[in-house]
Structure 1
Amino acid sequence: MPEGDSVYQLSKRLQFMAGREVTHTSLRVPRFATVDFTGLACDKVWPYGKHLFMQFGPEILHTHLKMEGTWSMHRAGARWRKPGHTARVVLRLADAKGDIELVGHELGLVDVFPAREYSARMGYLGPDMLAEDFDHDEVVRRITSQPDMEIGRALLDQKNAAGIGNEYRAEIGFLAGTHPARLVREVDVDKHVRLARRLMWANKDSPVRVTTGVKRAGETSYVFGRNNKPCRRCTALITKGFLGGSGDLERVIWWCPDCQPPGPSWRGE
């Protein structure tokens, strides 16, 4: 699943949309099949955590990539790289050299709502990890208010901080020397949040996500995706497991058993 920095970069690539008129609209989800932005100009495009927003006049198009989603751009009439049945959003935008077609494939969420409802609808999200005015103290407050939650689940909960995904969760835990199942009350939350902000900010404009400082293939992460490979610090074999939870909060975790010893509550589920 793309993390906040991926959506941030996607939003940057889509800034060309601002001010362009929509010449064709096709939202291929039943609930919004009749929505038509044709004739309207795109006012702005922006990210918030893992969410992407486009405003067309009085309405906002809200999408989320989830696990499989992608966006592609083509000249109108060009053949799509992915099959047409995976398209959920198709927008054509006016251009002097020929309309530009923007296609969202396999999007996990497509929603349209009045712009005036933006704050009310998205207010449940925690501070955006990549916001210029990132509110560090608020993220710490939200996480520490759940002292009996595992730090790995708390970091992944978008109601605490918007944008942290599974890869960053794994790498933050390693750099902090914390097993992801340690309880919030047992760890230095301020340290974890500072690491999260630093890592994500350093990667926000990079085409390759790097947490080790080494951009060579296969050396960009400490523990993420490295099950049974030697720890880059101590050579102990990286371990993989699952952190208890439900829905989006139940995912694979990786850790070094020596650098990130589990706490007494860990049962290896």
Structure 2
Amino acid sequence: MPEGDTVWQAAKRLHTALAGRVLTRSDLRVPKFATADLTGRTVLDVTPRGKHLLTRIEGGLTLHSHLRMDGAWKVFENGQRWSGGPTHQIRAVLGTTERTAVGYRLPVLALLRTAEEQDVVGHLGPDLLGPDWDPDLALTRLLADPTRPLGEALLDQRNLAGIGNVFKCELCFLLKVTPWLPVGDLPPGHAAQLPELAQRLLEVNRDRPDRNTTGLPRQNFFVYGRAGRPCLRCRTPVRLADQGDGARERPTYWCPTCQTGPAPAPVRRSHRRTAS
């Protein structure tokens, strides 16, 4: 599921394929921008901002995209068969003489002036993988509402940008607290540790093909996706329940022994995919 590390990888692939090259093909398959023609323009760079992608193009234009749960950008050599989903799921095509980038199932796709990028990403907090990363500011924003559950505060991109549901669950486990613990109840040492730990988790995963938070070769996660299975530390069965973030419920995993704090009654169901 796309989180800050996944988006960083997508930006790197797109930048390598497109930056410094002239577009020979441009096809934006959303009604508002269907007539926009970017051919003949040079791609300047592709920059990640939290979970957002900014493809900057000659002439002061930026193509803004967001992957949400299922979106993906695929890069193909010219002549290579595209694979990423059926044709009707393609939302954008950007091609050069050598490679073609194809955006599948992009829920957010907009062409705007580069000078107006702040309109779409200006609300975001410090980017965990960006040059603007500021752990002190991130912590200040997280603690601004001390009654808010930690899991919800971590998912709020206005506090810090890049964390999704996977890293939320894993961070709470590593901090030894439940995602329902009010932020203000975090022990001082844990609160001070949080921004650095979050940044380190994303940084070590940004170049990995398979996300891993445990450091173990065959166990990628401590609790995420492990409902009913033994905790890797204490062997207590991992629990699962929904947690809201103000917009939707997300399946949330925790160990009732290793993590202290409030928690709802667990639900009985198998792991399902969710937006990050």
Secondary structure of the residue that 1:53 maps to in structure 2? strand
**1:15 and 1:45 in contact (8 A); partners too:** yes
Specify the code of the residue in structure 2 equivalent to 1:74: F
Q: How does 1:123-142 map to 2 (within 5 A)?
A: 123-142=122-141
- What is the distance in 2 between the residues matched to 1:138 and 1:63? 26
Specify the code of the residue in structure 2 equivalent to 1:220: N
Specify the code of the residue in structure 2 equivalent to 1:197: Q
Specify the code of the residue in structure 2 equivalent to 1:199: L
Q: How does 1:14-29 map to 2 (within 5 A)?
A: 14-16=14-16, 17-29=18-30
Secondary structure of the residue that 1:251 maps to in structure 2? strand
**2:14 and 2:101 in contact (8 A); partners too:** no
- What is the distance in 2 between the residues matched to 1:27 and 1:40? 15
Secondary structure of the residue that 2:120 maps to in structure 1? helix
**1:69 and 1:108 in contact (8 A); partners too:** yes
State whether structure 2 residue 124 is matched by structure 1 residue 121: no
Secondary structure of the residue that 2:117 maps to in structure 1? helix
- What is the distance in 1 between the residues matched to 2:57 and 2:132? 25
Unpaired runs of 5+ residues, structure 2, are 267-276
- What is the distance in 2 between the residues matched to 1:146 and 1:154? 9
**Of 131-140 and 47-56, the range deviating more from structure 2:** 131-140
**CA positional deviation for 1:133:** 4.6
Aligned counterpart, 2:75: 73
**1:208 and 1:215 in contact (8 A); partners too:** no
- What is the distance in 2 between the residues matched to 1:233 and 1:110? 42
Q: How does 1:94-113 map to 2 (within 5 A)?
A: 94-95=97-98, 100-113=99-112
Q: How does 1:1-269 map to 2 (within 5 A)?
A: 1-16=1-16, 17-57=18-58, 58-81=60-83, 82-95=85-98, 100-187=99-186, 188-216=190-218, 219-247=219-247, 250-263=249-262, 266-268=263-265
- CA-atom RMSD, angstroms? 1.5
**1:151 and 1:182 in contact (8 A); partners too:** yes
The number of residues matched between the two structures is: 260
**2:13 and 2:75 in contact (8 A); partners too:** no
Unpaired runs of 5+ residues, structure 1, are none
| Identity across the alignment (%) | 40
- What is the distance in 2 between the residues matched to 1:235 and 1:221? 14
Secondary structure of the residue that 1:113 maps to in structure 2? strand
- What is the distance in 1 between the residues matched to 2:15 and 2:121? 21
**1:20 and 1:41 in contact (8 A); partners too:** yes
**Of 10-19 and 41-50, the range deviating more from structure 2:** 10-19
Specify the code of the residue in structure 2 equivalent to 1:172: L
Q: 1:198-250: per-residue Cα shift (whole Å, max 9, x none)?
A: 1111112111211111122xx111000000011111111100001134325x3
**2:155 and 2:245 in contact (8 A); partners too:** no
Structure 1 runs (4+) deviating above 6 angstroms are none
**1:242 and 1:268 in contact (8 A); partners too:** no
**CA positional deviation for 1:77:** 4.6
- What is the distance in 1 between the residues matched to 2:79 and 2:88? 16
**2:78 and 2:97 in contact (8 A); partners too:** no
**CA positional deviation for 1:146:** 1.1
